[in-house]
């Protein structure tokens, strides 16, 4: 069997933390008089913390000082971490563990490719840090998705070319980043939102071993 690099986004792919990002941002947005819907939230998926705040302020046409922005960023992350601290292994999304187990058992390489600066503690919290041969997160990159930097770094750390790399993503920005990087993109979520991915699944639970074998032997 060939060996490929399998690169996983974190939020919304491995764990259902997208809802916590949403709740933490919504509190601040609503206080600023901004109606922050789930549709708006799609714009924030895969996007860095700082950029997320800029997008929210843009929705409300709000100008703010650097001090205000700093305090909202801190508040958002404090609230988010409170949600994260209560997380347990049952918040790993359905179907993820069998895929990680199959990849490990079949000598495939696994990396994280996430925009989050909280990635490591989350993986530790839900007990799956040991699956990862490499971790690239928001602390390691300068260019946010849709720039492919995070995925290219991950592939490089695993010693694989983009053509031998497969990315699992739930965000528009992430699918675009994988495609720009010359990798195979597998989107997880609504195909109407995640257009442009090479493959789409509603959830990880729909991914079969047969499909994984196809990816490995491509
Ligand atoms: C991404 C999320 O994975 O990480 C975004 O999809 C989030 O919604 C980004 O803004 C940054 O996360 P964090 O944990 O560093 O605030
Ligand atoms: Mg995501």
Residue appearing with tokens 């060939």: 2
If you measure from the C-alpha of residue 36 to the centroid of ligand 1, how many angstroms do you get, rounded to a whole number? 17
DSSP string for 172-204: HHHHHHHHHTT-EEEEES-TTTSTT-SEEESSG
> Using a 6 Å cutoff on CB, does residue 174 contact ligand 1?
no
Residue 5 · residue 158 · CB < 8 Å: yes
The response to whether residue 44 sits with its C-beta less than 6 Å from ligand 1 reads: yes
CA–centroid distance, 213 to ligand 1, in Å, is: 30
Q: Which domains does the chain possess?
A: 5-16+89-217 (3.40.50.1000), 18-85 (1.10.150.240)
Annotated catalytic residue 79? no
From the CA of 44, give the closest atom in ligand 1: 8
Strands (E), 108-177: 109-113, 134-136, 165-169
Quick one: DSSP state of residue 110?
A: E
Return d(Cα 34, Cα 58) in angstroms, integer: 10
> What tens-digit pLDDT sequence spans the chain (218 residues)?
899 999 999 999 999 998 999 999 999 999 999 999 999 998 899 999 999 999 999 999 999 999 999 999 999 999 999 999 999 999 999 999 999 999 999 999 999 999 999 999 999 999 999 999 999 999 999 999 999 999 999 999 999 999 999 999 999 999 999 999 999 999 999 999 888 999 999 999 999 999 999 999 98
Q: Which ligand is nearest to the CA of 47?
A: 1
Q: Measured in angstroms, how far is the CA atom of residue 218 from the centroid of ligand 1? A: 31
**What is the model's pLDDT at position 42?**
87
Strands (E) in the chain, as ranges, are: 5-8, 109-113, 134-136, 165-169, 184-188, 199-201
């Amino acid at each position: 069997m060939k060996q490929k690099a399998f690169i996983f986004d974190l939020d919304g792919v491995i764990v259902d933390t997208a809802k916590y990002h949403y709740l933490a941002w919504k509190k601040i947005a609503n206080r600023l008089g901004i109606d922050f819907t789930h549709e708006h939230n799609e714009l924030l998926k895969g996007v860095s913390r700082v950029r997320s705040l800029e997008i929210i302020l843009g929705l409300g046409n709000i100008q703010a000082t650097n001090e205000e922005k700093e305090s909202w960023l801190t508040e958002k992350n404090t609230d988010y971490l409170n949600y994260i601290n209560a997380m347990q292994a049952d918040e790993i999304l359905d179907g993820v563990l069998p895929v990680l187990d199959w990849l490990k058992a079949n000598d495939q390489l696994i990396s994280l490719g996430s925009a989050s600066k909280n990635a490591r503690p989350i993986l530790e919290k839900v007990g799956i840090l040991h699956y990862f041969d490499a971790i690239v997160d928001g602390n390691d990159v300068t260019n946010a998705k849709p720039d492919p930097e995070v995925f290219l770094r991950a592939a490089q750390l695993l010693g694989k070319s983009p053509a031998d790399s497969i990315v699992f993503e739930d965000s528009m920005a992430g699918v675009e980043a994988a495609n720009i990087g010359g990798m195979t993109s597998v989107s997880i979520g609504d195909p109407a939102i995640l257009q442009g991915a090479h493959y789409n699944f509603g959830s990880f639970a729909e991914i079969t071993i047969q499909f994984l074998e196809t990816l490995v032997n491509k």
